[in-house]
A = this chain, B = another copy of it.
């Protein structure tokens, strides 16, 4: 065999590729047979696989058998219709085809020249998506701004934080890094704090302002103003504000317009994280939730969450692309080329952390074309209706309460402590989560709001239908009865 390896034989790709398509199609046909949340113990796989790589090739069939017998039991099935945890991570036929094509072409699109189509298609589909969201013109590629696909919302907030940091440091001097202050709320995703850690912004200067139930856990403009005033009187420099549309815990929407005006007043970069809920804003009736985005310097939504585009595909738009480029560009000799040197093209390497990048726009393009805007809107509406339906089920059982207003497809709820003892209530809901997830029939996750342990039911898997929501509620009711009965 040695010396005869033909690792990219077109006919072998065809034969094996067809086998893999069937394997994956069969997986989706039987996906409801698996426990949604994997029930394996830590270290399970180590016992099932050898300690070193084989010296000689193995047959595809053996590997696929191992996937079936050893890997799939260790998978938590995010695509299961009974998956209601965290936020969704949509796969779809179109998204899957886009991933296949991207893997098939397997080019590395750091500069325009390394595959002009990759850069240009990305600019075009992000303009398309920006128009669907009715983003202000300044976010489109025809002006000074434009869209870019990042891997995740974490990278999106990091790159704009770096752009904002360097912009202000250019003005006030780089030794002032320790004076820079970032603002968000205690509901802002932990990605903001991580971005601060990475960028060297002192965590003492990362203000995660307190929210409460009176404002539905949204960031209060008054509290923000107070914090800014106090920081400025202490000689600190406010430079970055992150607002959220659809917070991770309860899908709250921060008041963009009011917050944006404050950011502008103090010369701060205003970033809007709509990672989850941004998708809903393609429907006219939900567009209001990003009213005020015109005040933002950057806006982010994850097409890989609730928009049928396989992970990863996090869409980021900025009004001033040069701010990103100032922070993130490098220009080594070995990457120089006519088009870049003449400044005729976009080189996305200068808009992101890594150098290399995949052809991710293909999958978003396929989703938009194979489904069309009207279908995508109805897909979103269907999930929101299913969440409303679940909300009604919870409200109809007096042992439970809905905890925060439901705006999108997430319902926050909990089992009421029968004795009004909140500590007991927290343990009870923690146990209910555990019990429900241990059945393997559903997977939900949790959060804590105002000290209360809350269950989260996020509708959004592509295969979820009303019957799955009904069945999930039955699991939760049954497990609740068992827990309450054993008290």
Give 9 A-B contacts (CB < 8 Å), ordered by A residue: A7-B462, A13-B93, A14-B25, A17-B97, A20-B21, A53-B368, A55-B373, A76-B107, A91-B103
- Name which of A351-359, A390-398, A417-425, A475-483 contacts chain B: A351-359
Contact size range, A: 35 or more
- Name which of A39-47, A238-246, A289-297 contacts chain B: A39-47
Which B-chain residue is minimally distant from A100 (CB atoms)? B20
Task: Establish whether residues A17 and B21, one from each chain, have CB atoms under 8 Å apart when the complex forms.
Answer: yes
Task: Establish whether residues A152 and B354, one from each chain, have CB atoms under 8 Å apart when the complex forms.
Answer: yes
Query: Is A24 in the interface zone, CB < 8 Å from B?
Result: yes
Instruction: Please report the C-alpha to C-alpha distance between residue A457 and residue B89 in the assembled complex, in whole angstroms.
Output: 42
Query: Is A472 in the interface zone, CB < 8 Å from B?
Result: no
Query: Is A105 in the interface zone, CB < 8 Å from B?
Result: yes
Q: Shortest CB–CB separation between residue A74 and chain B, in angstroms?
A: 3
In the bound complex, residues from chain B placing their C-beta under 8 Å from that of A487 are none
Task: State which of B42, B331, B371 has its C-beta within 8 Å of the C-beta of A7.
Answer: B371
Task: Establish whether residues A354 and B446, one from each chain, have CB atoms under 8 Å apart when the complex forms.
Answer: no
In the bound complex, residues from chain B placing their C-beta under 8 Å from that of A37 are 113
Instruction: Please report the C-alpha to C-alpha distance between residue A125 and residue B49 in the assembled complex, in whole angstroms.
Output: 10
Instruction: Please report the C-alpha to C-alpha distance between residue A18 and residue B97 in the assembled complex, in whole angstroms.
Output: 10
What mask results when residues 65 to 87 of chain A are scored 1 for a CB within 8 Å of chain B, else 0? 00100111111111100000010
In the bound complex, residues from chain B placing their C-beta under 8 Å from that of A62 are 369
Query: Is A262 in the interface zone, CB < 8 Å from B?
Result: no
In the bound complex, residues from chain B placing their C-beta under 8 Å from that of A158 are 353
Query: With A26-B10, A37-B113, A117-B71 given, is the CB distance from A108 to B132 under 8 Å?
Result: no
Task: Establish whether residues A249 and B372, one from each chain, have CB atoms under 8 Å apart when the complex forms.
Answer: no
Which B-chain residue is minimally distant from A74 (CB atoms)? B117
Query: Is A144 in the interface zone, CB < 8 Å from B?
Result: no
Instruction: Please report the C-alpha to C-alpha distance between residue A127 and residue B254 in the assembled complex, in whole angstroms.
Output: 45
Query: Is A279 in the interface zone, CB < 8 Å from B?
Result: no
Query: With A13-B21, A14-B21 given, is the CB distance from A74 to B116 under 8 Å?
Result: yes
Q: Which 7 A-B pairs have the closest CB atoms?
A: A74-B117, A200-B200, A17-B21, A24-B104, A99-B103, A14-B25, A45-B120
Which B-chain residue is minimally distant from A19 (CB atoms)? B97
Task: State which of B5, B45, B198, B462 has its C-beta within 8 Å of the C-beta of A124.
Answer: B45
Task: State which of B60, B116, B378 has its C-beta within 8 Å of the C-beta of A370.
Answer: B60
Instruction: Please report the C-alpha to C-alpha distance between residue A382 and residue B331 in the assembled complex, in whole angstroms.
Output: 33
Instruction: Please report the C-alpha to C-alpha distance between residue A458 and residue B112 in the assembled complex, in whole angstroms.
Output: 20
In the bound complex, residues from chain B placing their C-beta under 8 Å from that of A123 are 46
Task: Establish whether residues A462 and B8, one from each chain, have CB atoms under 8 Å apart when the complex forms.
Answer: yes
Which B-chain residue is minimally distant from A302 (CB atoms)? B356
Task: Establish whether residues A332 and B117, one from each chain, have CB atoms under 8 Å apart when the complex forms.
Answer: no
Q: Shortest CB–CB separation between residue A220 and chain B, in angstroms?
A: 21
Instruction: Please report the C-alpha to C-alpha distance between residue A356 and residue B304 in the assembled complex, in whole angstroms.
Output: 10
Task: Establish whether residues A44 and B92, one from each chain, have CB atoms under 8 Å apart when the complex forms.
Answer: no
In the bound complex, residues from chain B placing their C-beta under 8 Å from that of A91 are 8, 103-104, 106
Task: Establish whether residues A373 and B116, one from each chain, have CB atoms under 8 Å apart when the complex forms.
Answer: no
Task: Establish whether residues B330 and A190, one from each chain, have CB atoms under 8 Å apart when the complex forms.
Answer: yes
Query: Is A312 in the interface zone, CB < 8 Å from B?
Result: yes
Task: State which of B25, B189, B366, B374 has its C-beta within 8 Å of the C-beta of A56.
Answer: B374
Task: State which of B2, B53, B334 has its C-beta within 8 Å of the C-beta of A129.
Answer: B53
What mask results when residues 100 to 140 of chain A are scored 1 for a CB within 8 Å of chain B, else 0? 11011111100011111110110111011101100000000
- Name which of A171-179, A211-219, A227-235, A400-408 contacts chain B: A171-179
In the bound complex, residues from chain B placing their C-beta under 8 Å from that of A335 are 190
Task: State which of B79, B154, B345 has its C-beta within 8 Å of the C-beta of A106.
Answer: B79
Q: Shortest CB–CB separation between residue A462 and chain B, in angstroms?
A: 4
What mask results when residues 159 to 183 of chain A are scored 1 for a CB within 8 Å of chain B, else 0? 0001001100000001101100000
Task: Establish whether residues B373 and A53, one from each chain, have CB atoms under 8 Å apart when the complex forms.
Answer: yes
Instruction: Please report the C-alpha to C-alpha distance between residue A188 and residue B10 in the assembled complex, in whole angstroms.
Output: 37
